[in-house]
Amino acid sequence: MILVKFGILVDSGEHYNEYSYFESFKGVDYLDSYNDETLLEECYGEPDCGFEEAMQSAGAYEYYEDRLISVTYVREINDDELNTLRKFNFVI
């Protein structure tokens, strides 16, 4: 199972992070079996114009015409770590 941290930059200049976990992915498979686009599509869907047109600099993708979203961190986690993240409301 992996934990993914998404960095989100809004046109207003606001920056925040969102976290998600994927039970069916393994950290060792990152970039071999799946990539940033796969993770983004799982959480946010494909951008309206497609990934090629939406890609901006440094792996950030334009979504909703007002924000850039990028994968900033991928880490393998176990059930105990997931439960701790849930306790502190990092993930639901």
The two three-digit tokens of residue 15, written as one number: 């920056």
The answer to the question of residue 78 being in a domain is: yes
The answer to the question of residue 92 being in a domain is: no
Cα–Cα distance for residue pair 12/77, rounded to 1 Å? 33
Per-residue pLDDT tens over the stretch 11-32: 989 999 999 999 999 988 988 8
Per-residue pLDDT tens over the stretch 58-70: 789 999 889 999 9
Domain count across the chain: 1
Phi, psi of 24 (to 5 degrees): -90, -5
How does residue 56 score in pLDDT terms, banded at 50, 70 and 90?
confident
Largest CA distance in the chain: 39
The answer to the question of residue 75 being in a domain is: yes
Residue 22 and residue 35 in contact, taking contact as beta carbons nearer than 8 Å: no
Task: Check whether 42 has a pLDDT greater than 80.
Answer: yes
Q: How many CA atoms lie within 13 A of 16 on its CB side?
A: 8
Residue 72: give the domain boundaries: 2-87
